[in-house]
Copies of this chain bind each other. A is one copy, B any other.
């Protein structure tokens, strides 16, 4: 079972990498950029075949390792 975890910074958390991307794009001549925020994804292949169980397991993984829930949100998409 394939699961995609998307981890993004919470609103209000400073994002220097996003700012760097925004600055670099402006430097390349791209105009009309109102903001850029970076995040990360983790694609997991699990032996689990039940979508609900897979989602619960991955939520546990996020809480324990993948996301820093003080400053990050995570979203779990079961891709089947």
Contact = CB atoms under 8 A, between A and B. Distances in A.
Interface of A: 6, 8, 18, 21, 24-25, 28, 30-48, 57, 60-61, 64-66
A44 B40 contact: no
Contact of A8 (B39, B41, B61): B41
Contacts of A21: 42, 65-66
A35 B44 contact: yes
Given A65-B24, A66-B21, A42 B32 contact: no
B6 A33 contact: no
B8 A32 contact: no
B28 A34 contact: no
